[in-house]
Amino acid sequence: MPARYCEVALPVPLRSTFTYAVPESLEGKLNGQPLIGRRVVVPFRRRAMIGVVLAESAKPPDITRAVSAGGGAAAAPAIREIAEVMDPVAALPPKLIELGEWISRYYVAPVGETFRAMLPPDVEVRHDREYSLTEAGSAYLDALAQKLTLADEEREEAELLRRFDPREAEGESRGRRKRVDEAAAEALVRRGYLAARNVLRHRQARTQKILAWNPAAPAVKLDARAEEVREALTSASGPLPLHVLIAKAGVSRSVVERLENAGALSSWDEPLTPGEDPWDTDFTPPSNVLNAEQNAALAEIWRWLVAGKFAAGLLHGVTGSGKTEVYLGAIEATLSRGKSAIVLVPEIALTLWVGRLVRARFGEHVAVLHSGLHDTERAREWWRVRHGEARIVVGTRSAIFAPLENVGLIIVDEEQESSYKQEETPRYNGRDTAVYRARLEGAVALLGSATPSLETYHNALAGKYQLLQLTSRVENRPLAAVRIVDLREEFRRQHRATPVSESLRAAIALRLEEKTQAMVLINRRGYSWSLMCRGCGALVQCENCSIALTYHKSRQRLECHYCGYSIRPPKQCPKCNSEYMYYVGDGAERVEEYLREQFPAARIARLDRDTVRTKREYQQVLGAFAKGEIDILVGTQMVAKGHDFQRVTLVGVVAADLALGRPDFRAAEKTFQLLTQVAGRAGRGELSGEVLVETYYPEHYAIQYAAQQDYASFYEKEAQFRRLLHYPPFMALASVLVRDRKVENAIRWSRALAAYFAPFEERGVKILGPAAAPLARLRRDYRFQFVLKSPHRAILGKALAGALDFCAANQFPETAVIVDVDPATLS
Site residues (vs ligand ADP, CB under 6 A)? 286, 288-291, 294, 317, 319-325, 474-475, 644
Whichever of 396 and 676 has its CB closer to ligand ADP, that residue is 676
Whichever of 59 and 627 has its CB closer to ligand ADP, that residue is 627
Pick from ligand ADP, Zn ion, none: which does 550 bind, CB < 5 to 8 A by kind? none
CB of 487 to ligand ADP, least distance (A): 29
User: With contact defined as beta carbons under 8 Å apart, do 576 and 536 qualify?
Assistant: yes
Pick from ligand ADP, Zn ion, none: which does 324 bind, CB < 5 to 8 A by kind? ligand ADP
Question: According to the binding rule CB under 5 A, does residue 575 interact with Zn ion?
Answer: yes
Which residues on neighbouring strands pair with residue 732, listed in sequence order? 790
- What amino acid is encoded at 158 in this protein? A
Question: According to the binding rule CB under 5 A, does residue 594 interact with Zn ion?
Answer: no
CB of 538 to Zn ion, least distance (A): 5
Binding test (CB under 5 A) with Zn ion, winner from 193, 527, 565, 645: 565
Pick from ligand ADP, Zn ion, none: which does 429 bind, CB < 5 to 8 A by kind? none
Neighbour count for residue 802 (Cβ, 10 Å): 15
CB under 5 A: which stretch of 69-77, 353-361, 513-521, 536-544 binds Zn ion? 536-544
Question: According to the binding rule CB under 5 A, does residue 533 interact with Zn ion?
Answer: yes
Task: Work out the widest C-alpha separation in the chain, in whole angstroms.
Answer: 108
Question: According to the binding rule CB under 5 A, does residue 573 interact with Zn ion?
Answer: yes
User: With contact defined as beta carbons under 8 Å apart, do 200 and 127 qualify?
Assistant: yes
Pick from ligand ADP, Zn ion, none: which does 321 bind, CB < 5 to 8 A by kind? ligand ADP
Question: What one-character DSSP code corresponds to residue 766?
Answer: E
CB of 471 to ligand ADP, least distance (A): 11
Q: Report the SS3 class of residue 167.
A: coil
Pick from Zn ion, ligand ADP, none: which does 319 bind, CB < 5 to 8 A by kind? ligand ADP
CB under 5 A: which stretch of 84-92, 106-114, 530-538, 819-827 binds Zn ion? 530-538
Binding test (CB under 5 A) with Zn ion, winner from 2, 275, 535, 802: 535
Question: According to the binding rule CB under 5 A, does residue 558 interact with Zn ion?
Answer: no
Question: What one-character DSSP code corresponds to residue 235?
Answer: I
**Secondary structure of 237-303 as H, E, C letters:** CCCEEHHHHHHHHCCCHHHHHHHHHCCCEEEEEEECCHHHCHHHCCCCCCCCCCCHHHHHHHHHHHH
CB under 5 A: which stretch of 157-165, 354-362, 555-563, 624-632 binds Zn ion? 555-563
Pick from ligand ADP, Zn ion, none: which does 325 bind, CB < 5 to 8 A by kind? ligand ADP
Neighbour count for residue 360 (Cβ, 10 Å): 15
Neighbour count for residue 123 (Cβ, 10 Å): 12
Whichever of 222 and 474 has its CB closer to ligand ADP, that residue is 474
CB of 658 to Zn ion, least distance (A): 20
Question: What one-character DSSP code corresponds to residue 725?
Answer: T
Question: What one-character DSSP code corresponds to residue 702?
Answer: H
CB under 5 A: which stretch of 352-360, 538-546, 723-731, 804-812 binds Zn ion? 538-546
Question: According to the binding rule CB under 5 A, does residue 576 interact with Zn ion?
Answer: yes
Question: According to the binding rule CB under 5 A, does residue 531 interact with Zn ion?
Answer: no
Residues 6+ positions from 4 with CB-CB distance below 8 Å? 21, 22, 27, 35, 56, 57, 58
CB of 480 to ligand ADP, least distance (A): 12
Q: Report the SS3 class of residue 232.
A: helix
User: With contact defined as beta carbons under 8 Å apart, do 312 and 442 qualify?
Assistant: no
Question: According to the binding rule CB under 5 A, does residue 584 interact with Zn ion?
Answer: no
User: With contact defined as beta carbons under 8 Å apart, do 344 and 397 qualify?
Assistant: yes
Angle formed by the axes of helices 323-336 and 348-362, to 10°? Answer: 50
Question: What one-character DSSP code corresponds to residue 429?
Answer: B
CB under 5 A: which stretch of 171-179, 426-434, 466-474, 561-569 binds Zn ion? 561-569
User: With contact defined as beta carbons under 8 Å apart, do 94 and 35 qualify?
Assistant: no
- What amino acid is encoded at 547 in this protein? I
Residues 655-684, one symbol each (x = binds Zn ion by CB under 5 A, - = not), give ------------------------------
Binding site for Zn ion (CB under 5 A): 533, 535-536, 542, 544-545, 560, 562-563, 565, 573, 575-576, 578
